[in-house]
Amino acid sequence: ASDRLLGHSSTQSSHRLLAYSDALISIIATVMILPVAHTKMEDDEELRQSVQLLLTTKIAVYLMTFLIVTVAWAAHIRLFQVIVRIDDCLALLNLACMMLITFLPYTFSLMATFPENILGILLFCGCVMVIGVIQSVIVLYAFSRPFLLSEHVQISENQTFYKHHILKVIMRVPLMCLFASIFSFIFFQLSYVLLAIVIFLPYISQCLKWCRSKAIGQVDESPESMLFYTYLPNEPLSKERVEAFSDGVYAIVATLLILDICEDNVPDPTVVKEQFGGSLVAALQVYGPEYLAYFGSFATVGLLWFVHHSLFLHVTKTTRFMGLLNTFSLAFVGGLPLAYQLTHEFPRNSRNELEAIQISCVIIFFAGIFQLCIWVAALYNEQETLHPYVRYGGREHAFMLAKLALYPCVALGTFFLTCILSRFSASIFHLMEITVPFAFLVLRLLVRVGLALLRQIFCPDRSDLRT
Amino acid sequence: ASDRLLGHSSTQSSHRLLAYSDALISIIATVMILPVAHTKMEDDEELRQSVQLLLTTKIAVYLMTFLIVTVAWAAHIRLFQVIVRIDDCLALLNLACMMLITFLPYTFSLMATFPENILGILLFCGCVMVIGVIQSVIVLYAFSRPFLLSEHVQISENQTFYKHHILKVIMRVPLMCLFASIFSFIFFQLSYVLLAIVIFLPYISQCLKWCRSKAIGQVDESPESMLFYTYLPNEPLSKERVEAFSDGVYAIVATLLILDICEDNVPDPTVVKEQFGGSLVAALQVYGPEYLAYFGSFATVGLLWFVHHSLFLHVTKTTRFMGLLNTFSLAFVGGLPLAYQLTHEFPRNSRNELEAIQISCVIIFFAGIFQLCIWVAALYNEQETLHPYVRYGGREHAFMLAKLALYPCVALGTFFLTCILSRFSASIFHLMEITVPFAFLVLRLLVRVGLALLRQIFCPDRSDLRT
């Protein structure tokens, strides 16, 4: 502990503050799936209609919240890569900042429900501007006490230059929000365009930059950009914080369904007495499908976490692009409990049930395929980003590919099977849920057998040489 | 990253698995406050009555869940202090274990709602027994691959002895549950007694042991108990995991109210049009108190986290007794959002509102006082458990005392003020909410002034000497 209390008695390592912030932000990012999940679906109504109703507002709110919160989180990472030590004052300022970030999802739901009312826009812009002011205060405070800064900045000669640069970067978004709130009084459609730019610009510019660098080769970094290395958007994300954020999302998503079950699925004693003749077992059998949904979604989320964990064990550096792919994967993971709940809400063999099962498969597929994409993106730059074991030709390369490809393949297979054998869709889906955990247990064996078979088929001579 | 992939390519550091487990367990521990918070209170009904109704079942369920989950968590810590490295198989087994732990709260609510039906008991005992079996499998698996064990066990000569001892400790609770489930068919009251013993025994024995050691001095540790040091209940808890668990609880509690707000407090467009003449601002003013409740509870939980963070920065070793006090503190923190929500749910100046405010003060008081108790307990053994700065006579001693005492004192003061000036109770409470964050900001200054004053009063000569 003595290394956590440095020099100044009031100075502390920022580790736990960051872990707490990560936990808060990951919960907030996934929370907006709850209004989606709690939308009542009538049995007589077609799923297609209610899904369309959902798609227009609630799912949009969920995805937008997820993206804007991850933008705020990325900014938070960058800020605390410059400020590596904290004191009481910074901790309190950071908490104030967190309080406003957790309020952002609500302003989004207001915007989605009342798109023509400017109150939602004004509230959102107000929050963002106050967050910007607090972050500027954090920067000014930290630069007034240089022992809080990272060593790189501490020993640098042009600290004030740094300070102004960081302040400029931080105030960019609040300034755009100020314009958006002013325009909202004149022509509110323009404000939405401005806000969309705020949310998507970092992602789009990142994608473009990545594509360009792949197309025309690595762009020379100017000496000036090297100077500001610690505050450029193409700087790698802290791997620890990406892991902490992902853990938070996986944990909250895995437990979302038990929240509902604990609250809604305890029958009323009088109902049990009157409708089920006092038999609790009979009363609980009504809820049977919901328990199944819980265990199914917990297992799927848990296994996706397991794949993520295995992948990041072998990742040595997280680029921004990998972080973006991770965000997309997590956004789909957040939708899983909803999809699983839907699969058990409709009568057996109805068209609604089939569609719900297919939606689940699509969500699992995308959650898995984006995890695979993280690895593929890492392979493009494998010298810097990956452990030798999982690079091309590494001894864990094939095994990692199998782990990452298992869920997308299974989801795709289930999807097409349910298209063909639509009458048995529920059975196929449940069979998939039960088989996959065991598949992970014996995966290493399967990969070895598969590789041996491939060697036997394609180059029997070399396989003989190897053994 | 190379140090995280040890020798065997499939062996991994257990750090992230433990962080994920901590996140899951902390969410589950706090989840059962939701059914309490969502109990509808009628305005015409007296709060006292509905609180009594709550107290009998839901709050009991919440507290029991919190305790049983922390017992499971402590067992998890002990297990993974022996097994320090994991592989894929252990990670999957651990996930299965987590899935069952997250199901425990539901069995508790069944027990509370249907105390005379044995189904709840059977489900609970079934879960615990399966958890025991999985943990035994984990132990057997780990001992069959000694490179997964902690070095202390790895180099030991009597590994099989260790293995049997650990298996015996693990199977104790499932065995008691087996008896409880058998007795439930004959005389179900006895099962509850058995379950209560299971839950409270570790705590009671710990308290007794601590009291005895304080009363008659340190008990000599037998050489045999030293041999099993890594699996005795009086062994210190991993400080990292106590922090991670506390962070999870604080984070989920801080965001509990925004979950509700995002779901329930977005008005329906048709309602706004018909009842408020299309004015969204007017419609949202109805929810005003709920926003206040959100910001109030977020600030209080955030500041309690801040105090906890400051305390644990200076803690070097967490004893089991400190962990127990921490659990009590967290259990009260979990009740905070509920209390804050109540304060704004009743008409102004009603008796209900006064009582709700007083309940909030009591909860804040206990959450704070148990944090203070952690420090007091640590001071008894300060050489081992505390950083020199905060020991008696350390330069941060008075400041730490002020930090820890601030919330209990303020809560107590507010409580008595509302008793005397019951007409202004709401204003006093809101004033308290606003003042406390600023009090924390200037606390260091206040402590210095206070100390200087004390010196001036009691020993003016020595203060002159010091300056």
A285 at interface of B, judged by CB pairs closer than 8 A = no
Rounded Cα distance, A93 and B441, in Å? 9
Rounded Cα distance, B109 and B57, in Å? 8
What is the reported pLDDT for A465?
A: 45
Q: What is the pLDDT of residues B242-254, one digit of tens each?
A: 889 999 999 988 8
Residues of B in contact with A294 (CB under 8 A): 103
Tell me the mean pLDDT in the region B114-132: 88
Phi, psi of A335 (to 5 degrees): -85, -10
Structure tokens at A192: 């939405």
User: Of all residues in chain B, what percent carry a pLDDT higher than 90?
Assistant: 18
What is the reported pLDDT for B185?
A: 86
pLDDT tier at A134, thresholds 50, 70, 90: very high
DSSP-assigned letter for residue B58: I
Query: What is the reported pTM?
Result: 0.86
How far does Cα A437 stand from its chain's mean position?
A: 22
Task: Yes or no: say if B150 and B81 are a contact pair by the CB < 8 Å rule.
Answer: yes
Rounded Cα distance, A462 and A466, in Å? 6
Q: What is the pLDDT of residues A203-255, one digit of tens each?
A: 677 677 767 777 776 554 444 444 444 455 556 778 888 889 999 999 988 88
Task: Yes or no: say if B404 and B307 are a contact pair by the CB < 8 Å rule.
Answer: yes
Task: Yes or no: say if B295 and A102 are a contact pair by the CB < 8 Å rule.
Answer: no
When comparing pLDDT for B280 and A437, which is higher? A437
pLDDT tier at A466, thresholds 50, 70, 90: very low
Tell me the mean pLDDT in the region A263-275: 79
What is the reported pLDDT for B297?
A: 86
**Between chains, do B92 and A441 touch, taking CB under 8 Å as contact?**
yes
A267 at interface of B, judged by CB pairs closer than 8 A = yes
Residues 82-121 of A with CB under 8 A from B: 88-89, 91-92, 95-96, 98-99, 102-103, 105-106, 109-110, 113-114, 117, 119
How many CB pairs below 8 A link A and B?
216
Task: Select from A257, A246, A326, A250 the least CA-distant residue to A289.
Answer: A257
Task: Select from A348, A111, A276, A439 the least CA-distant residue to B266.
Answer: A111
Among B251, B259, B396, select the one facing A20 at the smallest CB separation: B251
Interface probe for A, chosen from B16, B65, B383 (most Cβ of A below 10 Å), is B16
Element (H, E) at B13: strand B12-13
In degrees, to the nearest 5, what angle opens at C-alpha B131 toward C-alphas B126 and B132? 100
When comparing pLDDT for A335 and B50, which is higher? A335
What amino acid occupies position B397?
H
In degrees, to the nearest 5, what angle opens at C-alpha B244 toward C-alphas B81 and A332? 110
The answer to which of A406-410, B141-145, B215-219 has the lowest mean pLDDT is: B215-219
Task: Select from A97, A85, A155 the least CA-distant residue to A129.
Answer: A97
Chain B nearest-CA distance from A57, in A, is: 12
- The chain-wide mean pLDDT, for chain B, equals 81
Q: What is the pLDDT of residues A321-377, one digit of tens each?
A: 888 889 999 999 988 888 887 777 777 777 778 888 888 899 999 999 999 999 998
Among B2, B259, B312, select the one facing A34 at the smallest CB separation: B259
Task: Assess whether pLDDT exceeds 60 at residue B224.
Answer: no
Q: Which long-range contacts (CB under 8 A, 24 or more apart) does A263-266 make?
A: A263/B34, A263/B35, A263/B38, A265/A290, A265/B106, A266/B35, A266/B106, A266/B109, A266/B110, A266/B113
Task: Select from A301, A243, A303 the least CA-distant residue to B16.
Answer: A243
What is the reported pLDDT for A219?
A: 52
Task: Assess whether pLDDT exceeds 90 at residue B84.
Answer: no
**Between chains, do B259 and A387 touch, taking CB under 8 Å as contact?**
no
How far does Cα A259 stand from its chain's mean position?
A: 20
Q: Buried (b) or exposed (e) across A190-210, using 16+ Cβ within 10 A? A: ebeebbeebeeebbeebeeeb
What is the reported pLDDT for A49?
A: 65
Alpha helices in A116-238 (DSSP H): 119-144, 151-154, 159-186, 188-216, 223-227
Task: Yes or no: say if A121 and A111 are a contact pair by the CB < 8 Å rule.
Answer: yes
Task: Yes or no: say if A392 and A379 are a contact pair by the CB < 8 Å rule.
Answer: yes
The DSSP-derived string for A21-57 is HHHHHHHHHHHTHHHHHT----SSS-HHHHHHHHIII
CA distances from A152 to A85, A142, A149, A236, B81 (A): 13, 14, 8, 16, 37
DSSP-assigned letter for residue B236: P
Task: Select from A22, A69, A77 the least CA-distant residue to A230.
Answer: A77
**Between chains, do B255 and A27 touch, taking CB under 8 Å as contact?**
yes
Residues of A in contact with B441 (CB under 8 A): 88-89, 92
Tell me the mean pLDDT in the region A289-308: 88
In degrees, to the nearest 5, what angle opens at C-alpha A258 toward C-alphas A253 and A262? 150
- The chain-wide mean pLDDT, for chain A, equals 81
Q: What is the pLDDT of residues A84-117, one digit of tens each?
A: 888 888 999 999 999 998 888 888 888 877 877 8
Per residue, the 3-state secondary structure of A426-462, as one string, reads HHHHHHHHHHHHHHHHCHHHHHHHHHHHHHHHHCHHH
The answer to which of A11-15, A50-54, B365-369 has the lowest mean pLDDT is: A50-54
Task: Assess whether pLDDT exceeds 60 at residue A464.
Answer: no
Residues 198-257 of B with CB under 8 A from A: 243-244, 247-248, 250-252, 254-255
Task: Select from B35, B15, B10, B134 the least CA-distant residue to B334.
Answer: B35
